[in-house]
Copies of this chain bind each other. A is one copy, B any other.
Amino acid sequence: MELLSQQEVFDGWLRRYRHHSEATSTDMEFAIFLPPAVAAARVPVLYWLSGLTCTDENFCQKAGAFRLAAKLGLAIVCPDTSPRGLDLPDEHDSYDFGSGAGFYVDATEQPWADHYRMYEYVTNELPALIEATLPVSADKSISGHSMGGHGALICALKNPGMYNSVSAFSPIVHPTVVPWGRKAFSGYLGPDEATWAEYDATLLVANAPEPMPIMIDQGSKDDFLDTQLKPELFKAACDAVSHPLQLRMHPGYDHSYYFISTFIDDHLKFHGAALGLKV
């Protein structure tokens, strides 16, 4: 791993690294916040998956999460949202497909299948790398925003026992039925919609093998609420199988990081408690 930068923040350290990824066959960059507690012991990790057009930097700059993470003793890892540095056909043409829009799936269609393997990267390669090289423990939780909320939900639902807790802000909960998801899954996974189901939280929760509680925050003034997000569909699926879901609707709030910053402390406490930290 190549250390790109280190900055002190809240007496901890924000580092950015570059490394070669087997999953994506590209170099990848990620950010990690290490709280001051790493001076004494390994700390648990919250993985944050970002939304469309983001890199590892949006959350770090805008979420206001490091104040409480430093206090709790919680590391936060922010992966990028797609491979970079390629120039595949049409890869950079739209904000909701290709670069910046990996959707946390392992693509099976060409030309994406050799590189767009963000599910493998996020659930397997990156945690193994981080746990082998940085002062963190194997205890981890996962959260994310919008496309990254989708990513957090599917990573947790598909991997019982891997994460201590899962939450999301404004997630895409049912990608197989909304425009963002249908466009992405068509491109990455091909026309056979049967293959899409394994990356759809609303379909996965029906057969979730463990009842891990899920926390979701959603703004009522979110411009994407009725067309792309539709949290009521996920709620109905959870209710049908009595899967524990805390869905909090917030009147007046939109899809932005101002919304995330307002409620991020609640999520950090939720994950901190599940990870055995004193909250």
Interface assignment of A14: CB less than 8 Å from any CB of chain B? yes
Residues of B within 8 A of A258 (CB): 7-9, 14, 66
- Indicate whether A252 sits within 8 Å of B61 (C-beta atoms), given known contacts A14-B258, A66-B261, A258-B14: no
Contacts of A258-274 to chain B: CB distance below 8 A: 258-259, 261-262
- Main secondary structure, interface of A, reads mixed
Contacts of A29-82 to chain B: CB distance below 8 A: 61-62, 64, 66-67
How far, in whole Å, are A259 and B7 apart by their CA atoms in the complex?
A: 9
- Interface residue from B10, B62, B256 paired with A7 (Cβ < 8 Å): B256
- Interface residue from B10, B64, B67, B252 paired with A8 (Cβ < 8 Å): B252
What size tier do the contact residues of chain A reach? 20 to 34
Interface assignment of A224: CB less than 8 Å from any CB of chain B? no
Interface assignment of A254: CB less than 8 Å from any CB of chain B? yes
Residue of B nearest to A256 (CB): B7
Contact residues of A with B, CB < 8 Å?
A: 7-11, 14, 61-62, 64, 66-67, 219, 221, 252-254, 256-259, 261-262
A to B CB contacts below 8 Å, 21 in the list: A7-B254, A7-B256, A7-B258, A7-B259, A8-B219, A8-B252, A8-B254, A8-B258, A8-B262, A9-B259, A9-B261, A9-B262, A10-B262, A61-B61, A61-B62, A61-B257, A62-B62, A64-B67, A64-B261, A66-B261, A67-B262
Q: Is the Cβ of A253 less than 8 Å from the Cβ of B62?
A: no
Residues of B within 8 A of A14 (CB): 258
How far, in whole Å, are A51 and B252 apart by their CA atoms in the complex?
A: 31
How far, in whole Å, are A257 and B9 apart by their CA atoms in the complex?
A: 9
A67 CB, min distance to chain B CBs, angstroms: 7
